[in-house]
């Protein structure tokens, strides 16, 4: 039987936070652990997407390794069938991007929400459209085509992504269909698998999502945070003056976020939804809830910090590079199979 091919990517933005972990990476590990022998899994650190924004070369190289170490530290494992690689190690991604861009619609790309918000940001000062366009880079406009190529070049059937990426996945399907109509039926329109998980909110501003772009370090927990850090951040998390535990995401977002985190960080066989969990805390204080939440997060992330450090330390990280090189080799072979057929269909 033909198995599933699962592909997903993450930008090399440094060590992931708890939101990235619960919203994306933990699902990847689960897909790996539940995969059938005929399934294939590819996870890419998408460094070419990162350079749509200005990057310092040294920092980018470091962030890439940090992200690779993070993926391995949370349990993605080539021995368990996951192929893990840097996007730029597989030039077939950019080759297919060019070919796709020759049948992709500018109008469709221009309607992408993320592009429109970038355009709006640059237009704030009341600039003419022309001026806004001059400041914006082509790569930022066309990166959904690269994202489509990432997926299609590996003939992915399933793509786990955050809800914010739904539109780009729809565009990837459109790219496949356009190509197939123009040339030959080769590319596979993928299915979206959106994470069932709600957003992890900031610990200091619970009406915003936890994000690496917040300047306040106390607003987030990283997957490599120490148990002491985890505990201190949870204990001072912003809640409110009512010292009881109720689940009310609208008027008590801080408390709701803690309940959500406690629920998600409880092993699945004992997990209760946050609303039911709140009932268990009847008569307890917010401090009790925080203690329990900190403990559950520490348990969920146990070992990740040490594995991450070991991976980065090992002989100057030589071992990490070997894992990446092996992943890239597998990914190149897989992508080349698609590209041979694509080139032939196009006449190249």
Measured from the CB atom, the residue of 157 and 257 that comes closer to ligand ADP is 257
Residue 292, number of CB atoms within 10 A of its CB: 21
CB of 66 to ligand ADP, least distance (A): 13
| Residue that is written with structure tokens 């930008």 in the block | 11
Residue from 11, 44, 92, 178 binding ligand ADP (CB under 6 A): 11
CB 81 within 8 A of CB 32: yes
Instruction: List, in order, residues 6 or more apart from 21 with CB less than 8 Å away.
Output: 74, 223, 301
| Helix-helix angle 113-123:138-152, to 10 degrees | 170
CB of 159 to ligand ADP, least distance (A): 11
Contact window for ligand ADP (CB under 6 A) among 5-13, 55-63, 130-138, 318-326:
5-13
Residue from 162, 189, 227, 249 binding ligand ADP (CB under 6 A): 162
Say whether 212 is catalytic: yes
Measured from the CB atom, the residue of 162 and 329 that comes closer to ligand ADP is 162
Whose CA is closest to 338, among 176, 181, 192, 139? 176
Catalytic residue among 212, 282, 287, 318: 212
Say whether 116 is catalytic: no
Measured from the CB atom, the residue of 209 and 275 that comes closer to ligand ADP is 209
Contact window for ligand ADP (CB under 6 A) among 88-96, 140-148, 161-169, 293-301:
161-169
Task: Read off φ and ψ for residue 53, nearest 5 degrees.
Answer: -115, 155
Contact window for ligand ADP (CB under 6 A) among 7-15, 146-154, 270-278, 328-336:
7-15
Q: Which helix (H) or strand (E) holds 196?
A: none
Q: Which helix (H) or strand (E) holds 8?
A: strand 5-10
Catalytic residue among 4, 30, 80, 118: 118
Q: With contacts defined by CB under 6 A, how many residues of the chain interact with ligand ADP? A: 18
Task: Read off φ and ψ for residue 204, nearest 5 degrees.
Answer: -105, -25
Say whether 137 is catalytic: no
CB 95 within 8 A of CB 56: no
Contact window for ligand ADP (CB under 6 A) among 11-19, 181-189, 279-287, 307-315:
11-19
Residue from 5, 6, 15, 24 binding ligand ADP (CB under 6 A): 24
For residue 34, what are its two tokens? 């539940």
223/16 Cα distance (integer angstroms) = 6
Site residues (CB under 6 A) for ligand ADP, limited to 196-225:
199-200, 209-213
Backbone angle region of 110, left / alpha / beta, with phi > 0 → left and psi within -120 to 50 → alpha: alpha
Residue 158 binding ligand ADP, by CB under 6 A: no
CB of 18 to ligand ADP, least distance (A): 8
159/6 Cα distance (integer angstroms) = 6
Catalytic residue among 36, 209, 290, 315: 209
Helices and strands (H, E) in the chain, number of each type: 16, 5
Which residues bind to ligand ADP, rule: CB under 6 A? 10-11, 13, 19-20, 22-24, 161-162, 164, 199-200, 209-213
* Residues carrying an active site annotation: 118, 209, 212
């Amino acid at each position: 039987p033909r198995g599933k091919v699962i592909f997903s990517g993450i930008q090399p933005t440094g060590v992931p936070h708890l939101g990235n972990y619960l919203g994306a990476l933990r699902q990847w590990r689960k897909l790996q652990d539940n995969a059938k022998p005929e399934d294939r899994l590819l996870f890419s650190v998408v460094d070419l997407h990162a350079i749509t924004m200005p990057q310092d070369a040294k920092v980018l190289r470091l962030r890439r390794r940090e992200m690779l170490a993070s993926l391995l530290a949370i349990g993605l494992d080539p021995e368990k069938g996951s192929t893990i690689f840097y996007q730029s190690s597989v030039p077939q991604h950019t080759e297919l991007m060019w070919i796709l861009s020759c049948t992709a619609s500018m109008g469709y790309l221009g309607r992408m929400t993320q592009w429109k918000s970038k355009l709006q940001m640059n237009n704030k000062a009341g600039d003419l459209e022309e001026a806004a366009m001059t400041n914006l880079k082509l790569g930022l406009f066309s990166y959904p085509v690269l994202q489509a190529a990432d997926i299609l070049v590996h003939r992915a059937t399933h793509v786990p992504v955050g809800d914010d990426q739904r539109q780009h996945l729809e565009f990837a399907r459109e790219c496949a269909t356009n190509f197939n109509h123009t040339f030959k039926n080769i590319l596979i329109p993928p299915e979206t698998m959106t994470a069932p998980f709600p957003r992890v909110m900031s610990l200091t501003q619970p009406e915003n999502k936890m994000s690496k772009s917040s300047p306040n370090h106390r607003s987030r927990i990283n997957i490599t945070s120490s148990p002491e850090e985890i505990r201190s951040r949870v204990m001072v998390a912003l809640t409110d003056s009512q010292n009881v535990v109720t689940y009310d995401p609208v008027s008590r977002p801080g408390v709701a976020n803690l309940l959500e985190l406690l629920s998600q960080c409880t092993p699945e066989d004992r997990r209760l939804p946050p609303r039911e969990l709140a009932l268990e805390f009847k008569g307890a204080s917010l401090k009790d809830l925080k203690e329990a939440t900190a403990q559950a997060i520490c348990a969920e992330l146990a070992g990740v910090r040490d594995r991450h450090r070991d991976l980065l330390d090992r002989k100057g990280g030589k071992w990490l590079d070997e894992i990446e090189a092996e992943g890239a080799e597998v990914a190149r072979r897989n992508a080349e199979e698609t590209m041979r057929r694509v080139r032939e269909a196009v006449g190249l």
